Amino acid sequence: MDSISATRYAESNVRLSLGPMPYFWPRAQTLAFYEAACEWPVEVVYLGETVCSKRRELRLRDWLSLAMLLQSVGKEVVLSSLTLIEAESESGALKRLISAAPGLVEANDLTAVSLCRQTGKNFVGGPGLNVYNAETMALLVADGMVRWVPGVEQGHVQLTHLLATADQSGIVLPELEMPVWGRPGLAWSARCFTARALDLAKDDCGFRCIEFPDGLPLQTREGEPLLRLNGVQVLGETTVDLGPELPELRELGVRIARITPQAHNMHEVLTRFAKVWRDGLATPRVGAENGYWREGPGNVQLPSR
């Protein structure tokens, strides 16, 4: 199947992307981050809030002006949507985001898929959608999914099967984007775990997650770091690094490698991947192994089953 994928993607650009920002930062810090991104070696930038609708340091118009700024220096901009949508007001905000988006939208929930399908807007299937087989992928492609970012559980074996099945069935493959750097998003809840840890009610949270630019660390009772609390989202503690697996990703047909934003050293991280990704080379691991990639527990400090 390698040759098939290679042919199919011959025309596609091999690119790096900056995924959506999972954390909540002060307005000035967020703006500075994306202004700096204009100079970074990254071709695709995802903007927007994917975790909590209460976070409003930046409004839609702010994201849109950042989009214009990034587009003006040649970046492709995608607006990402909320992962867990509960209130009708959030559905309304999503509708406005989709109609205002200057390019693709990243759909992280079926509500967004539904709206894109209805309005004929092409979308990126985000890691929040449950796509485990070629049949599901084909349905979403028919709905307008032109790019797909697999969920955190997807490993090499699963993706190989999925893509081979799609090839055999003549399914038009979406462009494939794979997260290669960052903490994995593991769970979402109605509950705000940051507010709970600070003994605050969610409705009166004071937006305190802004104090934890890389999430609030959670350890086991014997001091082993395990998770990061990020508002209503739970992340894995370890920053996953698929640097050594980059050639495997390329062979599989992945054309966009996604880097997840973090508070520090973003430029260095991007530069490290930019040096090797386009040439299909590996780079030694700096972060943690992604256990899911080899069919094991996501957290590789643990013995595999």
Partner 1 sequence: MELVAPAGNLPALDAALEAGADSIYVGFRDQTNARAFPGLNFSDAELIEGIRRAHKRGRRVLIALNTYAESARFADWCKAVDRAADAGADALILADMGVLDYACRNHPNLPRHLSVQGSATTAGALKYMHERFGISRAVLPRVLSIQQVEQVCATSQVPLETFAFGSLCIMVEGRCQLSSFVTGASPNRHGVCSPAKFVRWEELPDGGRSVRLNGVLIDRFEANEPAAYPTVCKGRFRVGEEVFHALEEPTSLNTLELLPRLQSAGVAALKIEGRQRGAAYMGAVVRTWRSAIDRLRTDPEHWAVQASWQTELARHAEGHQTTLGPYHRSWH
Q: Would you say 103 or 296 has its CB closer to partner 1?
A: 296
Q: Would you say 83 or 260 has its CB closer to partner 1?
A: 83
Cβ atoms of 270 and 16 within 8 Å: the answer is: yes
Shortest reach from residue 141's CB to partner 1, in Å: 12
Q: What DSSP string runs through 232-280?
A: TEEEESS-EE-GGGHHHHHHHTEEEEEE---SS-HHHHHHHHHHHHTTT
Q: How far is CA 250 from CA 110, 160, 238, 254, in A?
A: 29, 12, 24, 5
Shortest reach from residue 230's CB to partner 1, in Å: 12
List the Cα angle 75/81/84 in 5-degree steps: 155
Shortest reach from residue 143's CB to partner 1, in Å: 8
Q: Would you say 277 or 293 has its CB closer to partner 1?
A: 293
Shortest reach from residue 186's CB to partner 1, in Å: 4
Q: Would you say 111 or 262 has its CB closer to partner 1?
A: 111
DSSP letter for 47, please.
Answer: E
Q: Would you say 31 or 186 has its CB closer to partner 1?
A: 186
Cβ atoms of 255 and 9 within 8 Å: the answer is: yes
Shortest reach from residue 3's CB to partner 1, in Å: 20
